[in-house]
Amino acid sequence: MKKTCQALFGALLLCAQLAHGENLLKAEALGDGIFALIGPTGGRLHENYGLNANYGVIDTPDGTILIDSGASTAAAKLLESESRKLTGKPVKWVINTGVQDHRWLGNGYFAAQGAQIIALQRTTTTQARLGKGQIESLARELKEQMNGTVPAPAAQPLAGNAQTLTLGGRTLELRYFADAHFAGDAVVWLPKEKILFAGDHIYVDRLLGILPESNAETWLQAFRQAIALQPTRIVPGHGRVCDVAQAQRESGDYLAFVVGGTKKFAEDMAGVDTAVGAMKNAPAFSHLRNFDDLHRGNVNRTYLRLEAAQ
């Protein structure tokens, strides 16, 4: 009896988790079989499967194109079921826009289902360097959800900085501009529809995070090149679908503020505490979610990188 109860409880728990996962990502139709899956803007949590980011789903007669594969095998299965609800078709191609865990750690699951994983060579190089550490650090929060997750960068990565892909009759461009949130981050650009899947180049509604792997100075250059495409709609890496003006206000202007501000202090070797102290108030951005948690660290890391380059 006790065993039966335990099994029942386990099954109920799994159902509750999956039901919760079903409501995690909000689908937004962008027209013509193109969808954004918008995740929560907080941190990586067990309850959100590490899917605190956005994804893309594109329908084609030959199968589904999924943009980014989630932070684990468990997350990949959720993305698979959400994308099937939208297109009714299996995922045939997965395109990676970047290197952060939630962009690509689901690759192994999709590859095992027969999907082709597509990424630029420079993206896979950084993925290969960081993958093992990303899985170890995610396991602390996501626990059993990371079981079976292995780093699986694209087996046949694409050379160069820009590739035009024709998949199921759709034309997409995979473009790299400069090292950004991570070295090797890229965007997916739909030239006909003028829709940009910006990956971790653009955050709105919440503050972006400048990590030890990030290069804020070249990220700003990459941001400028991405919006120079003049997209009519942007699916940012984090936050709601937006236009160029909002991306500029909440990502571009913030990067310019941090890079421009810290540069002056770094040139004078003023010290990181002086830079952080002088820049800790940033009223133009303090309404953005996660500001209190991230802003000082963003200034700190940008200053140290710029000072080291002096």
Residue 214 binds Zn ion (CB under 5 A) = no
Q: Are 266 and 306 in contact (CB under 8 A)?
A: yes
Binding segment toward Zn ion, per CB under 5 A, in 5-13, 69-77, 98-106, 145-153: 98-106
Longest dimension (CA), the chain: 73
* Residue 38 Cβ vs Zn ion, minimum distance, rounded to whole Å: 13
Strand pairing partners for 233?
195
Q: Which is nearer to Zn ion, 39 or 108 (CB)?
A: 39
Give the C-alpha separation, 156 to 120, whole Å: 9
- Chain-centroid distance, C-alpha 287: 22
* Residue 250 Cβ vs Zn ion, minimum distance, rounded to whole Å: 14
Residue 237 binds Zn ion (CB under 5 A) = yes
Q: Which is nearer to Zn ion, 202 or 266 (CB)?
A: 202
Tokens at 86, concatenated? 């939208």
Q: Which is nearer to Zn ion, 53 or 276 (CB)?
A: 53
Give the C-alpha separation, 115 to 64, whole Å: 10
* Residue 230 Cβ vs Zn ion, minimum distance, rounded to whole Å: 24
Q: Which is nearer to Zn ion, 59 or 200 (CB)?
A: 200
Residue 145 binds Zn ion (CB under 5 A) = no
* Residue 238 Cβ vs Zn ion, minimum distance, rounded to whole Å: 6
End-to-end C-alpha distance for the chain, whole angstroms: 70
* Residue 142 Cβ vs Zn ion, minimum distance, rounded to whole Å: 15
- Between the CA atoms of 131, 89, 44 and 147, what dihedral angle is there, to the nearest 10 degrees? -50
Residue 200 binds Zn ion (CB under 5 A) = yes
Residue 100 binds Zn ion (CB under 5 A) = yes
Residue 126 binds Zn ion (CB under 5 A) = no
* Residue 40 Cβ vs Zn ion, minimum distance, rounded to whole Å: 12
Axis-axis angle for helices 253-267, 272-279 (nearest 10): 140
Binding segment toward Zn ion, per CB under 5 A, in 5-13, 66-74, 163-171, 237-245: 237-245
Q: Residues 285-304: x/- map of binding to Zn ion (CB under 5 A)?
A: --------------------
* Residue 188 Cβ vs Zn ion, minimum distance, rounded to whole Å: 15
Number of chain positions touching Zn ion (CB under 5 A): 4
Strands 91-95 and 63-67, bridge-based pairing: parallel
Q: Which is nearer to Zn ion, 237 or 239 (CB)?
A: 237
Residue 97 binds Zn ion (CB under 5 A) = no
Strands 170-175 and 91-95, bridge-based pairing: unpaired
* Residue 240 Cβ vs Zn ion, minimum distance, rounded to whole Å: 15
SS3 content of the chain, % helix, strand, coil (to 5): 45, 20, 35
Axis-axis angle for helices 291-308, 216-227 (nearest 10): 110
- Between the CA atoms of 87, 118, 102 and 289, what dihedral angle is there, to the nearest 10 degrees? -80
Instruction: Tell which positions 26-65 bind Zn ion, by CB under 5 A.
Output: 53
Residues in contact with Zn ion by the rule CB under 5 A: 53, 100, 200, 237
